[in-house]
A and B are shown apart, each in its own frame.
Chain A
Amino acid sequence: MKHKWTGAMAMAVAATLLTACSGGGTETGSAGGTGAAAEKVTLTYANWSEDQSPAMEQIAAEFQKENPNITVKVQTLPWPEYWSTLQVGAAGGTAPDAFWMLADHFREYAKGGALIDLSDTVKSGIDMSVYPKAVSDSYTYEGKIFALPKDFDTNGIWYNKALFDAAGVKYPDDTWDWQDVQDAAKKLTDPAKGVWGIAAPIDAQGGYYNTILQAGGTIINADGTASDFAGPAGVAGLKFWADLQKAGSSPTLKQLSDTEAVSMFENQKVAMYFSGAYWALRFYKNAELKGKVDVAPLPQGVKRATVTSGIGNAGYAGSKHPEELKKFLTFLGGTKAAEIQAATGTVLPAYKGTQQPWLDSMPEFKLQVFIDAIDYSVPLPVAGNTAEWQGLAAQYLAPAWDGTKPVEAAAKEYQDAVDQVLAKK
């Protein structure tokens, strides 16, 4: 009977392999893949945004017009599944050919050899100076370029004019410093009406990263081996938010855990919300908010600063069609793709000079603020497994926000936890 068992096992193993392979997105025309130009190939292009997928389809269609032998299939995955699907796919050989990348996930993928190296493609005719340096730098690993910037975002103060008018407070402008924010937030808070001056959640990108940089801090040192939250600038930058909580100028952390800061702002419960350009379209489409909302630059601390980041378009190193993939990624990094994104108001494209249609699509908002901020923008801090140490922030910093622990102590504990993650190889 023994050989029959082996037969059955072989069948089972074959089936396993088959199911493993059929999960992949690519369709091979014939073996080899890179073959002649006439060969029909299909590339997959994954993203996590329902809002943006129409624009991605349009970009894919435009690319296909120029390259009739390449078909691009756009896949939209829900955010919570996106990263686990991509990681498992990249490790198992079934990842999509092209996909969106974020700076805080990028390093793990680049280090693991999961991304296709675009350095040569760039050398043969892509001008990297058209992209904000802070964004393109965040997709460079050990001197190699692995993704071309798709879009970018800087931060500003989104504010509700109606709530400012009701409290008789002057709108924020580019003269504001930290104290102005603290004072205005206090004045705008009206417990009777259930209105707060500002939303102060434990938010890195829209929140304390900016204030730490404004205080002259660095967050992560240059070689990515240690963090600096407990230094004077780090503590000052965190204290900015803890003070707002202490003064009662913001909904509590529990309230902000139940109802996200952006929803609080949309429901006109908070007058100010520090965040990125990516909300513009959502606020603009909200009939209640459209006429009441505008945006101002972030306040100055010791200096001006905002973190910036952007999505990058990256390719899978294991793709069966690397040449076609590079062609597609080049197209995604080019003017046409940028113009489609700008004209649809989808996002702020990274390509220099293509942003005007985006500004024009929402004339009521002073969106130029986000573009002006490029001048003083700093790349989102990344080091080691960034997603891992960022994930620890809520747990370690909550006592500082709650006032149950001095900011200095919480900052030190968080710093130690981050350094521990960074120490892993």
Chain B
Amino acid sequence: MTNVAAKPARRPSGRRAGGNQTSVWWAVAFIAPATIGLVALYVWPFLSTLIKSFQDVPAFGPATFVGVDNYTALLSDGEVWEAFGNSALYTVIVLLGIPLAVVLAALIEQAGRGRTIYRVLFFLPVVTLPVAIGMVWRFIYNGDFGLLNYVLSWFGIDGQYWVADARFTIYAFAVVGIWMGLGINLIILGAGLQAIPKAVYEASALDGAGRIRQFFRITVPLLTPSIFFVTILTVIAALQMFDLIFIMLRSVNNTALGDSKTIVYLFYEKAFVQFDQGYGAAIAIVLLIAIMIATALQFRLQKSWVFYG
């Protein structure tokens, strides 16, 4: 302050402070819409979930604190572990969609004129309601009248009850999951591909590299930052899978449901069917921690394979 006062050319310090005050309020006003949204939609629900996870919350009426009871019950609950296993299996299979997306993105990039059409086609599932997707796939997977078994019968393969037999349900969901996620992945990878300088390809062509060699030696390494990003998003989305199982199994009295629950489905069941919101909240917090660990692990591992030009 003394420093400022010593320079007469500047405005008096009192006024400056006043001006500061106003601009702070302006700043608050400008960031308010985003902050309010963030607090109301993310911070507050998160905090209330965290609090609930330490409570016994009846369907109606006041909650009571029970310490870590929900968490200890959860650790010894076989159903929770089975659901985590199902979610993990689903996530691993859905990750196989990423190499597929890389190859497709590269092919579409080559397609020239038809590029936009392909992008639209692959993007359609992303903008389609999950409910509609679930209904359509339920028909495709139907054991007696479904399209899949019909096509398999051409090759003399016996069909299965894909979404009524717990041995197959997770795999059946994962195929739909890959298909649903393809559109977004292609957009992100496509943008990554366009950022690769053409000169690199030209130079390698002069050195005699073919298309395949270019793909593995140039495209894939230079695309790794995008692939990494897509992997992070895919893992998070896959661990949160809920809608497919809700639409494809729950809406009918499906006997495969018991062994096909994902972790978020189990959360839904505990919190909204069994009215045990405290336990549901504890599941949600454990899932959050699992996602954090999975993401942190990926960031740790990326150092060994992601190439930032």
Spell out A's residues near B (CB within 8 Å).
4, 7-8, 11-13, 15-16, 19, 80, 83-84, 87, 90-91, 108-109, 111-114, 201-203, 253-260, 385, 387-388, 391, 394-395, 398, 401
Is residue B292 within 8 Å, beta carbon to beta carbon, of the partner chain?
A: no
Q: In the complex, are the beta carbons of B273 and A391 less than 8 A apart?
A: yes
CB distance from B243 to the nearest CB of A (A): 11
- Show 18 residue pairs from A and B whose CB-CB distance is below 8 angstroms, ordered by the A residue: A7-B28, A12-B44, A13-B39, A80-B250, A90-B60, A108-B275, A111-B60, A112-B61, A113-B60, A202-B255, A203-B253, A253-B255, A254-B164, A257-B161, A258-B143, A258-B163, A394-B254, A401-B255
The residues in B between 89 and 122 inclusive whose CB is less than 8 angstroms from any CB of A are: none
Neighbouring A residues of B255 by C-beta, 8 Å: 202, 253-254, 257, 394-395, 398, 401
Neighbouring A residues of B253 by C-beta, 8 Å: 201-203, 256-257, 260, 394
Q: Given B24, B142, B250, B274, which contacts A258 in the complex, CB threshold below 8 Å?
A: B142
Q: Given A91, A203, A385, which contacts B60 in the complex, CB threshold below 8 Å?
A: A91
CB distance from A22 to the nearest CB of B (A): 12
Neighbouring B residues of A394 by C-beta, 8 Å: 253-255, 257-258
CB distance from A208 to the nearest CB of B (A): 12
Bound Cα distance from A259 to B248, whole angstroms = 11
CB distance from B77 to the nearest CB of A (A): 13
Q: In the complex, are the beta carbons of A259 and B142 less than 8 A apart?
A: yes
Q: In the complex, are the beta carbons of A113 and B32 less than 8 A apart?
A: no
Is residue B302 within 8 Å, beta carbon to beta carbon, of the partner chain?
A: no
Taken residue by residue from 124 to 150, chain B's Cβ proximity to chain A (1 for < 8 Å, 0 otherwise) reads as: 000000000000001001111110000
Q: Given A12, A84, A91, A257, which contacts B164 in the complex, CB threshold below 8 Å?
A: A257
Residue of A nearest to B254 (CB): A257
Bound Cα distance from A111 to B59, whole angstroms = 9
Taken residue by residue from 211 to 249, chain B's Cβ proximity to chain A (1 for < 8 Å, 0 otherwise) reads as: 000000000000000000000000000000000001000
Bound Cα distance from A391 to B266, whole angstroms = 13
Q: In the complex, are the beta carbons of B60 and A258 less than 8 A apart?
A: no
Q: In the complex, are the beta carbons of B273 and A112 less than 8 A apart?
A: no
Is residue B35 within 8 Å, beta carbon to beta carbon, of the partner chain?
A: yes
Given A15-B39, A257-B255, A109–B60 Cβ distance below 8 Å? yes
Q: In the complex, are the beta carbons of B28 and A385 less than 8 A apart?
A: no
Neighbouring B residues of A113 by C-beta, 8 Å: 60-61
Spell out B's residues near A (CB within 8 Å).
24, 28, 32, 35-36, 39-40, 44, 58-61, 138, 141-146, 161, 163-165, 246, 250-258, 269, 272-275
Bound Cα distance from A111 to B138, whole angstroms = 38
- With most chain A CB atoms within 10 A of its CB, the pick from B138, B145, B253 is B253
Instruction: Say whether chain B's binding surface is mostly helix, strand, loop, or mixed.
Output: loop
Bound Cα distance from A270 to B239, whole angstroms = 40
Bound Cα distance from A258 to B139, whole angstroms = 9
Q: In the complex, are the beta carbons of B44 and A254 less than 8 A apart?
A: no
Neighbouring B residues of A87 by C-beta, 8 Å: 59, 272, 275
CB distance from A152 to the nearest CB of B (A): 22
Neighbouring B residues of A112 by C-beta, 8 Å: 58-61
Q: In the complex, are the beta carbons of B40 and A12 less than 8 A apart?
A: yes
Residue of A nearest to B255 (CB): A398
Q: In the complex, are the beta carbons of A254 and B161 less than 8 A apart?
A: yes
Bound Cα distance from A91 to B254, whole angstroms = 30
Bound Cα distance from A125 to B198, whole angstroms = 86
CB distance from B281 to the nearest CB of A (A): 13
Bound Cα distance from A83 to B32, whole angstroms = 34
Bound Cα distance from A368 to B220, whole angstroms = 72
Q: Given A11, A15, A258, A385, which contacts B161 in the complex, CB threshold below 8 Å?
A: A258
Q: Given A7, A8, A83, A255, which contacts B272 in the complex, CB threshold below 8 Å?
A: A83
CB distance from A377 to the nearest CB of B (A): 23
Known: A83-B273, A257-B252, A385-B275. 18 other contacts (CB 8 A): A11-B32, A12-B39, A80-B246, A80-B251, A91-B59, A108-B275, A114-B60, A253-B255, A255-B143, A255-B161, A257-B254, A258-B161, A258-B164, A258-B252, A259-B142, A259-B145, A260-B252, A385-B274
